[in-house]
Amino acid sequence: MKYLIETWGCQMNDHDSEKLAGLMEKEGFQAAEGVEDADVVLLNTCSIREKAVNKVYTELGRLREEKKRRPLLVGVTGCLAQQEKAGLFRRAPQIDFVLGTMALQQLPRLVEEARAGKARVMDTGDYPDNHLFPPETTLRHSTAKALVTIIEGCNHACTYCIVPTTRGVERHRPWKDVVAEVEDLVAMGFREVELLGQNVNSYLGGCTFAQLLDRVAEVEGLEWIRFTTSHPMNFTEELARTLATNSKVAPFLHLPVQSGSDAVLRRMRREYTVEQYLERLAYLGGARERIHLSTDFIVGFPGETEADFEDTLALLERVRYDQSFSFVYSPRPGTPALRLADDLPQAEKSRRLTRLQARQTELTLESNQRMVGRSLKARVESKGALDGGHWLARTGEWKNVHLAVPEGRRLPFGELVDIRVTGAGPHFLRGELA
């Protein structure tokens, strides 16, 4: 029997797919090369925006046709599964089982019941030990960086966000378990880890998040630590000091602001003002010059005026983010923002998004150009040359580098190499071996 997992969404979903793959292999299944080769297809879904949901239903339509040709089990897990529950069966009756985000270890049972002919198998329960998934069961992707969950769920209540519904309240892994997993990953050959959570810097698994970073950094052989994602209300001076002084913590911070308007932030229930957000950035002090900063923006949130949007552009100019991820507001089922009047035309939302992204592209290009001529380290992230003959590497600042390598020379996948930056575009750097 063979299985295939298709994944949408964030790093947490990517890591959940590694866990699900490990469970399937433990039950004797083997990975399929494609849908046509699979006996079980598992869709690990995202529901943070409507576009992600639509992609899942499009794939379910293709699988419906595949099921007409041959026996095939289709399962849906991830945030859409947790959000819609039995509603998925009504909209897509070709689904055989539904598995929630907080019940991952129930996968073998659901597959067994579906294979035995039971219809509409589902478990979207909240298992209190779901965040304590045994790391040894996880089937790691062949990547240069290992993902490590430290916290699941979120205790904030942003009015636009579905995460508290799909991931539940915060559940923290004990810090000793996290350190032990990182030690095992280094023994497996990984030299970089990314600590994951819906809000990593609210971590309280026996220590603060800053203390956890310092303890993970003590693992011998580990070179870089990354983390995502952070809430500004939990970004402390202690964490800023660790980010500024611990050489193993990569010089990159993703701190979502969402809007530059205090009025919009209040409607979003983000719990801070623009000035309070800027105060937290100031915790970095002089280290801000070398720590590359990214953020998230939501454009066209209900009630956003032209003046509100201009405030967002003003914040962009004031902070001059190295990178940002921006989206038009997407209404999500059951969120408080649905009660707000959303009467801004879609064309105007798109215009604002285009304007914001165009300016960010210019700022990112400027950020990349400032790196030209620098000598630094980058991790090799491809196992061979890409189209055009360049290798892919990534710097500690989370910059993609298209690396010129002499013909016939091979680079060690997953290892750090010394490079010199020779050029820059808005989306990547160009470099050569130093």
- Average pLDDT estimate for 181-189: 97
Residue 79 assigned as binding residue? yes
> For residue 67, what are the CA distances in angstroms to 74, 87, 107, 235?
9, 20, 21, 48
Q: Is 207 annotated as ligand-binding? A: no
The pLDDT of residue 41 is: 98
Alpha helix ranges (H) inside 116-224: 163-167, 175-188, 209-217
Q: Where in the chain is the domain with CATH 3.40.50.12160?
A: 2-123
CA angle 208, 214, 219 (to 5 degrees): 130
In this predicted structure, the answer to whether residue 6 has a pLDDT above a threshold of 90 is yes
Assigned superfamily of 131-369: tm_1862 like domain (3.80.30.20)
Bond prior to 273 in cis (omega within 30° of 0): no
pLDDT-based confidence at 230, cuts 50/70/90?
very high
Spatial contact of 194 and 147, defined as CB atoms under 8 Å apart: yes
For domain 375-433, which CATH number applies: 2.40.50.140, 3.40.250.10, 3.40.50.300, 2.60.40.10? Answer: 2.40.50.140
Domain with CATH 2.40.50.140 in the chain: 375-433
Residue 269 has pLDDT above 90, yes or no: yes
pLDDT in the model for residue 142 = 87
How far apart are the C-alpha atoms of 243 and 249, rounded to whole Å? Answer: 6
Give me the pLDDT at residue 34, please.
Answer: 96
The predicted structure's pLDDT at residue 388:
84
Per-residue pLDDT reduced to its tens digit, 57-106: 999 999 999 999 999 999 999 999 999 999 999 999 999 999 999 999 99
Rounded to the nearest integer, the mean pLDDT of the chain is 97
pLDDT in tens, 205-222: 999 999 999 999 999 999
Q: What angle do helix axes 11-26 and 107-115 make, rounded to 10 degrees?
A: 60
10 is in an annotated binding site: yes
CATH 3.80.30.20 maps onto the chain at 131-369
Mean pLDDT, to the nearest integer, of 279-299? 97
In this structure, what are the phi and psi dihedrals at residue 424, rounded to the nearest 5 degrees?
-150, 140
Model confidence at 407, pLDDT cuts 50, 70, 90, reads confident
Task: State mean pLDDT over 337-344.
Answer: 95
User: What is the pLDDT at residue 387?
Assistant: 85
**How far is Cα 309 from Cα 200, in angstroms, rounded to an integer?**
29
Superfamily of domain 2-123: Methylthiotransferase, N-terminal domain (3.40.50.12160)
